[in-house]
Amino acid sequence: MNIKIIGVGKIKEKFYRAAIAEYGKRLSRYCKFEVVEVPDEKAPENLSEAQMAEVMVKEGERILAKIKDREYVYALAIKGKERTSEDFAAEIDKLAIYGKSDITFVIGGSLGLTPAVLKRADQQISFGRFTLPHQLMRVVLSEQIYRAFTIINGLPYHK
């Protein structure tokens, strides 16, 4: 199984990079895990609606360029479906059983994801209504993917 996280922008903080690397190392026994960073669009603070849309479109195009046709895509979105860790693990397991072994998770930039990216997604997933820094969300997502594999394999980590 191949698991990929596509995120907008670079992670600058060492502790976030270290946490993602740790989960990547743990995941290596279950899947090929990769994090792909696409450049964020540099923009001033006070953007007009049109400028915000333009930034989102450019970031969305960069995201879509990193997704292959065969990949099953989860878009992280506040309005997405919330799940328990057990439900998430069951979904990942079911996807593998049905031959969907290339799973991609997409985390947008500070303005979110364009309709084109949301349309390409097979599902939208939410980790709640909190707003989290995108760098931290990559850590949280990496941990939940690892947790899913421990649940699937009946390991005690989840308890």
CA 83 to chain CA mean position, Å: 15
How does DSSP classify residue 45?
A: S
Torsion over CA: 109, 34, 128, 116 (sign):
positive
Burial 102-126 (b: 16+ CB within 10 A, else e): bbbbbbbbbbbbbeebbebbeebbe
SS3 127: coil
CB atoms within 10 A of CB 101: 16
**Beta-bridge mates of residue 82:** 126
**Beta-bridge mates of residue 7:** 37, 107
Binding-site residue set: 76, 108
Binding-site residue set for S-adenosyl-L-methionine: 76, 108
